[in-house]
Amino acid sequence: MKHHPDLFDARTLQNDTRLLFKLKLLLGTVCAYGGEIPLSKSEIAKRMKTSGYRINVLLQKLVCEGIVHSDDNGKLFFNKFIFIQEKESTNKEDLYSKNFNFFNSDEFLSEERNVQRLVLHYVGKELVYIPGNFRWGYISDLYGPLGLLNIRTRKEALRILEKASKYLKMKIYNDNFQVLSVHQEWLDMGEVYSEGAELWVLKQLKKHRFCCDFLSRKAVWQIAKVMEDYYAKFGYEYATEIFDTALFNIQKDKMRSHNFFKMIYKEENEFTVNEEKNELDEISAYFRAVMESAEINYAVQLSIDLEGINNKKKAAESNLFEDGKLSQKNNEIVEEASKQRESIINRLNHIHYCWLSRVHQDPEWFIENYYRIKSLPAPILEIKQEIERLIAAKNKKDRRYAI
């Protein structure tokens, strides 16, 4: 995950303390799929070298500002992120802000607030660190009631520009200024890279009682690659459920877990990677196969849950009246069962959509698993018909070759 440029808009930084801004940078660096923050509040406090109480207060402020939110299970999510997959070409939507090391340097943090805001705005929001990506600005737009900075006069604006030139390569004219780039000495300090995916995978592995102390980081990244692909194609909720089911299935199957452990529990320098054999790619290929198998198991479990809820709802509906009066308890059971049924139907519909989007990319997998897919309930309908057409076409082709 990458920092969203809006996080660096000078207008949103006006009331940020040094600690609050550092917290925003940290959350953007550790957030993972869907913006989920895989660190507890105490872990965040430890990284920030402050108290849990102060972190709670700051997080509440960020909730009010719409920068973070929590779900019903108490998971914390960071909203100002961009998901970027590695690919050959990029577009405007792929542009993201880098978390440069100089943002957290004592020298930069000791500057007055408006200097910091101006630099962060042009480096993070306007992205002037990209070669050739310069920006023009009006000096009059920096001050006054509607100004970018909370200053009142042109004289103050010129003073801020002069101080900001320590970090930004600029040209200042009578009415305008031009920001050309960031001075190389600051870029040379490097940047803080996202560790969200790695932290998220480790958190899930620990939840399923994997021993992470002896786990190779290279292996973690191979597992993360599979999760990243699922997330990019099918979204947070589905990818997370399948990932969770996959780890559960590995731990439940002794033979499968033994094979997986042999692949991932190695020293960094023990992996064989050459033209003939790539053990790192084998990890991701193996885990992808487990994820695909988990999709079927997940869908089957949902169908079993749906049948159970339908039976519970039917039984409660048949006993709604007792002695001619509406039973309050049975009515509550019916309402709760209806909500649960709708939730499962929605998840089955999402599985159906995901499968339809890739049935022609990997038809063999769907043909091999048709005997299980055809037993799934009503929401899984169109995919069954599509697989039947694939099977018919395959059989016709086989007969033609046999003749």
Q: How confident is the model at residue 84 (pLDDT cuts 50, 70, 90)?
A: confident
Strand ranges, E, within 173-266: 176-182, 191-192
pLDDT of residue 326: 55
Q: Which two tokens stand for residue 380?
A: 């899984």
pLDDT mean over 337-343: 88
Cβ neighbours of residue 378 closer than 8 Å, sequence gap 6 or more: none
Using the CB atoms, write b or e for 245-259: b if 16+ within 10 Å. bbbebbeeeeeeeee
Band (pLDDT 50/70/90 cuts) for residue 72 is confident
pTM reported for the whole predicted model: 0.85
DSSP lists the bridge partners of residue 271 as: none
Query: Average pLDDT for residues 138-158, to the nearest whole number?
Result: 93
| Averaged pLDDT of the chain | 89
Sole residue written with tokens 């786990």: 215
Q: In this structure, what DSSP letter does residue 121 have?
A: I
pLDDT band at 402; cut points 50, 70, 90: low
Position 276 pLDDT exceeds 90: no
Distance CA 7, CA 302 (A): 39
Q: How many CB atoms are located within 10 Å of the residue 356 CB? A: 12
d(C-alpha 121, C-alpha 109), whole Å: 15
pLDDT for the residue 69: 94
HEC-encoded secondary structure of 72-116 = CCCCEEECCEECCCCCCCCCHHHCCECEEHHHHCHHHHCCCHHHH
- pLDDT at residue 89 in the model: 45
pLDDT digits (tens, 9 = 90+) for 171-200: 999 999 999 999 999 999 999 999 999 999
Angle (nearest 5°) at CA 274 between 268 and 280: 45
How many residues are present in the chain?
403
User: 93 vs 221, which has greater pLDDT?
Assistant: 221
